[in-house]
Amino acid sequence: MAAASPKPVEVCVKAATGAPDTVGDCPFCQRVLLTLEEKKVPYELKLINLDNKPDWFLAISPEGKVPVFKSNDDKWVPDSDVITQIIEEKYPNPSLVTPPEYSSLGSKIFSSFVKFLKSKDPNDGSEHALLDELRALDEHLKAHGPYVNGEKISAVDLNLAPKLFHLEIALDHFKGWKIPEDLTYLHAYMKLLFNRESFVKTKPAKEHVIAGWAPKVNA
């Protein structure tokens, strides 16, 4: 008799603002979905309207944060760092483990992007700080690419991909700013990531990314 197929894991993610049936623009949620897609783990998506959080969701995530994840042990777990680690342990094939020396590569890009995006002062150094981070990633990819750990995609790429997607869309829309063309390895890397089947399947719509950042930019 064939073994019963495993029960899909469950994951709560942000629904798009104004489109409750569509995956929203949370890069931490997409990171979890990318990990499940790359490992071909069946999952059930629960879309959460963060402007009107349902009671059942607040019962499992008292702080009201997404993503939260439940595998077969009926325990809901928050935090994309923790969730992706659990997925790696439970579903080791294919391995997405990034070697420790590369695992924090690009880790300051997202905070540098947010600072520059919100900046009202062109002389505050925020653009320069972001460029330094992007240039460092480009240099690494030049030496070790096409992915952070060479030929094979790994966890660090799945963490960076949604953040770079947000960065590209939001900075272009709100500041008319684009990643310099001379960062050719970074551009090739982003193209590679954004064209992966897992990314195409889980990415938010451009307009939802813009709508998500608008209140933070205009604050």
Please say whether the beta carbons of 34 and 87 come within 8 A.
no
The C-alpha atoms of residue 171 and residue 151 are separated, in whole angstroms, by 29
Where does residue 4 rank: exposed (0-12), middle (13-18), buried (19+ CB within 10 A)?
exposed
The C-alpha atoms of residue 26 and residue 33 are separated, in whole angstroms, by 11
Please list the active-site residues. Answer: 26
Please say whether the beta carbons of 104 and 115 come within 8 A.
no
The C-alpha atoms of residue 58 and residue 78 are separated, in whole angstroms, by 12
Where does residue 25 rank: exposed (0-12), middle (13-18), buried (19+ CB within 10 A)?
buried
Going along 18-166, which residue ranges are E strands? Answer: 19-23, 43-48, 68-70, 76-78
